Amino acid sequence: MTSQTVRRLAITPGEPAGIGPDLCIQIAQQSHPHELVAVCDPDLLRLRAEQLQLPLSIELFDPAAAPGPSLARTLKVLPVPLAATARAGQLDTRNAAYVLQTLEIATRGCQQGLFDALVTAPVHKGVINDAGVPFSGHTELLEQLTGSDKVVMMLATEGLRVALATTHLSLRDVADAITAPLLEQVLQVLQHDLIHSFGIADPHILVAGLNPHAGEGGHLGREEIDIIEPALERLRAQGMHLSGPLPADTLFNEKYLSQADAVLAMYHDQGLPVLKYKGFGNAVNITLGMPIIRTSVDHGTALDLAGSGTAGCGSLKAAIDCAALMASHRHLTPEDS
């Protein structure tokens, strides 16, 4: 297969009261070389398109048909009914189960080979929890649905990929979470997916230290000496191309980044502020370590913008393009998909 093969991508619009439906409608205004299938309530899209005053023709998805490019002002939909009519900007706990159902259906479709990848618009964690369903996020749910051993969060924008050793932890808990087994597992997942989902034959990964100045030789913390460097040495012995641990305050400059394929940050706010400064609104959130491909936007539900037509769809477009590219690389090595 070549990168020109048409890929079939499932898109979940996320929270129906947020900007996810708006972004799907905006994306559908232009043609796309891959087939985009929204997994949602078609009436939600019809009503929101009317509110946005944008033309939209909805076609019910036929799984038996061969995938084809998406036409302008047209969107294929795999129907999933809302529990209650959604109003832009107004959360409704009655629709929490619907949001989860769209994710489960889309994920199952990817697992069965019906879709080549999953692209997710933002969900609202609060309203799902308010509905009585414990929910910590897309990533954790997809990890559970796919039975994955270890998933890794990576954000990417033009010229920069940043993966995270830890994600949503308080700073007080980060140091205890940084262990050699964790780092080795995360780096192995990152290495595997850079090769098999991005087509990078021999990835060069920069690894940030945990402490200021990467510990200053032990004077500002010993995690680099006792944990990070020994883990990197073991992985280097296996053939991995790793640089670090490097001070995070100097790591993100052209001297290092021009020679690297990805950065591993030790915690959320060590790496993501840099990436979002560089590419917010056009960055992609990617879940590594799963048997399916999943990309997402780099922003939230933006309830205040829903239905206004002012939400930018750059990140969703980037997520769609990234998912299609990853699917093309993954299909070149089907035994790893």
Which residues are annotated binding-site positions? 138-139, 168, 213, 268, 276, 285, 294
> What are the strands, taking DSSP E only, across 61-99?
74-79
DSSP code at position 334: G
Do residues 8 and 35 lie in contact, with contact meaning Cβ atoms separated by under 8 Å?
yes
Looking up tokens 């990078």 gives 200
Q: Which residues are annotated as a binding site for substrate?
A: 138-139, 276, 285, 294
**Separation CA 130–CA 115 (nearest Å):** 31
The secondary structure of 117-136 as a DSSP string is EEEE----HHHHHHTT----
**Separation CA 205–CA 226 (nearest Å):** 20
Do residues 2 and 76 lie in contact, with contact meaning Cβ atoms separated by under 8 Å?
no
- Planar angle of CA 65, 58, 61, nearest 5 degrees: 25
Q: Which residues are annotated as a binding site for a divalent metal cation?
A: 168, 213, 268
SS3 of residue 191 by DSSP: helix
